[in-house]
Amino acid sequence: MILGLDLSTSIIGICIVDKEGNTFLQEYIDLRKEKTFFDKVRLAKKEILSTIRVNRITDIWIEQSLQAFRPGFSSAKTLLTLSKFGGIMEWIINEDTGITPQYIGASSARKRCGITVPRGEKGKDVVMRFLLDTDPTFVVEYTKHGNIKKHFYDIADALVIAKAGFLCQHKKN
């Protein structure tokens, strides 16, 4: 079983694909109500390690955080916080399970899964449309205003990471 994670300090997307590459689990962890950074780490640790143990995970793939500041995107402070959070989670996972998570960039994962983001469009929107059109196991819920609930974007990203991880593993073998 391959676990795909879209790590964030607000919502973590979680997806598991089986040894045939079929979607097995789609979940999320909502960290928005946690008061401190370390409260977020503790809750994420508890939930992720439980998911790993219950589902007999053999491989873990994590969406690589942005490597540089880009105007109009996340601030430098946000990038540093996400990078710190990712490093802590990677260490916790390795320390507890012996599994060394592997990283893959969002654009590389999308490309591997056959998702092309046209110039000027947001990657998250393209991924969402792609999954809704091509993956019958991916089902979303809507707000009362007809918008997709926010956590489904994180689940979608984790699904792409998990499937890309599967494809990377499959190519190696």
- Domain range for 13 is 2-172
> In angstroms, rounded to a whole number, what is the distance separating the alpha carbons of residues 49 and 7?
14
pLDDT score for 41: 97
> Which CATH number goes with the domain that contains 23?
3.30.420.10
pLDDT score for 143: 95
Structural domain total, the chain: 1
- Looking at the chain, the whole-number percentage of residues with pLDDT higher than 90 is 79
pLDDT grade for 148, boundaries at 50, 70 and 90: very high
Q: pLDDT tens digits, residue range 20-29? A: 999 999 999 9
Mean pLDDT, range 2-16, rounded to an integer? 96
Q: pLDDT tens digits, residue range 43-96? A: 999 999 999 999 999 999 999 875 444 455 557 777 788 889 999 999 999 999
Are 62 and 86 contacting, i.e. CB atoms less than 8 angstroms apart?
A: yes
Q: Which residue has the tokens 């873990």?
A: 60
- Full-model pTM: 0.90
Mention every residue, 6+ apart, whose C-beta is less than 8 A from residue 44: 7, 12, 29, 31, 85, 89
Please report, for residues 47, 53, 57, 134, 164, the alpha-carbon distance to residue 170 in angstroms, rounded to integers and kept in the order given: 27, 23, 16, 21, 10
> In angstroms, rounded to a whole number, what is the distance separating the alpha carbons of residues 31 and 88?
15
pLDDT score for 47: 97
Mean pLDDT, range 139-147, rounded to an integer? 94
> In angstroms, rounded to a whole number, what is the distance separating the alpha carbons of residues 76 and 78?
5
**Surface-to-core class of residue 159, CB atoms within 10 Å of its CB (0-12 exposed, 13-18 middle, 19+ buried):** buried
